[in-house]
Structure 1
Amino acid sequence: MDKDVKHPGGKSVGWALVQASRLHRSRTGDKLSDLGLFAGQEQVLQALATSGPMTMGDLAAILRVRPPTASKTVSRLSALKLVERHTEPGDARVVRVKLTKDGKRKAAAIDALWDEVEAELLEGFDNKERKRLRKLLRKAAKNLARLTGADQTGFEGESDDEFEDFTPPEAEPESALAATA
């Protein structure tokens, strides 16, 4: 690329976020393909590994997707024998999804993969910067969730004390902000 070609959103936080997200998704997708999975499928396996069996509606809510999208992904994972669907006794309309033994093994491999990609993503960041970035991204996501009517849960930190060393940007001198940009 020529040196004088400028990205249209060079000073935009949204542009930087989209670019980082695309590159993260690409890197994760490459690693997932080694496990025989496609991007998005890992999120279902991770959600089930973390929360245990759940309804399709609960799964869709956690993933912030529409139920048909969750259902399609679950169908593909079921064909791979990584998840099982069971109707609720007494109400066949309620379908619960759970990991199989193979699904649990795959979820453990995904956790390792996710940790590896996160280490690559955050190389050179100290703990304070990692915490700050996580908090700011959660805040941005919560803002958009509120405006779009999406579920806002899960955007809070693990505890209020987790970010006690965080200094809001408005409290930092301008020169400190410029150094981190």
Structure 2
Amino acid sequence: MKHPVAKSVGWALVHAARLHRTRIGERLAALGLFPGQEQVLQALSTVDTMTMGELAHILRVKPPTASKTIARLAAQGLVERIAEPGDARIVIVRLTEEGAIRAIAIDKLWTEVENELLDDFDNKERKRLRKLLRKAARNLAGLQALDDADEDIETDGEDVDDIVE
């Protein structure tokens, strides 16, 4: 029996994304990492240092989420946290030498899984799929921006988190 929305593009996208995330998760486990942690190491591998706020912004998560992930990675010796000289409230993070080695392994892992994902796609199909997925993401991002604006109007400018608590 087919899934009721088997012909849905959204369902196909979710299904493919789950399979991809599972495959990535299996490969990350071999590196001693959990899904999501690789994104932190990859983001930090592109710069010397980054503030926790910058990292949270890049990852599109709230600062406490980024902070928890950094704490776990620091416990593994993959990142280090440093208080900003002159303002201890600002925390700077950077990869350790071991973290940089893992980031390289993650890049290799991502390339291998992407090649598995797109095994029977030719270059034209790969480019077209990438373009279509980016277009779909822009569509949803635009709607998210509209949803965020609606929330601001509905709450009369109050922070939604403050209302929930």
| TM-score normalised by the chain length of structure 2 | 0.84
Alignment of 1:9-158 (within 5 A): 9-149=5-145
Please list every run of at least 4 consecutive aligned residues from structure 1 whose deviation after the TM superposition is greater than 3 angstroms. Answer: none
SS of residue in 1 equivalent to 2:83: strand
Q: Deviations over 1:105-132 (max 9, x none)?
A: 0001111111100000010111111111
- CA distance in 2 between partners of 1:16 and 1:101 (Å): 39
**Percent identity of equivalent pairs:** 69
Q: CA RMSD in A?
A: 1.3
In structure 1, list runs of 5 or more residues that go unmatched.
151-181
Residue type at the aligned position of 2:133: L
For residue 45 of structure 2, give the secondary structure of its aligned residue in structure 1. helix
Which protein has the bigger helix share? 2
Equivalent pairs counted in the alignment come to 146
Q: Any unmatched runs of 5+ in structure 2?
A: 147-165
Letter in 2 for 1:83: V
1:139 and 1:66 mapped to 2: Cα distance? 25
Q: Which letter maps to 1:59?
A: L
Cα distance in 2 between the residues matched to 1:52 and 1:124: 38
* AA of the residue aligned to 1:31: R
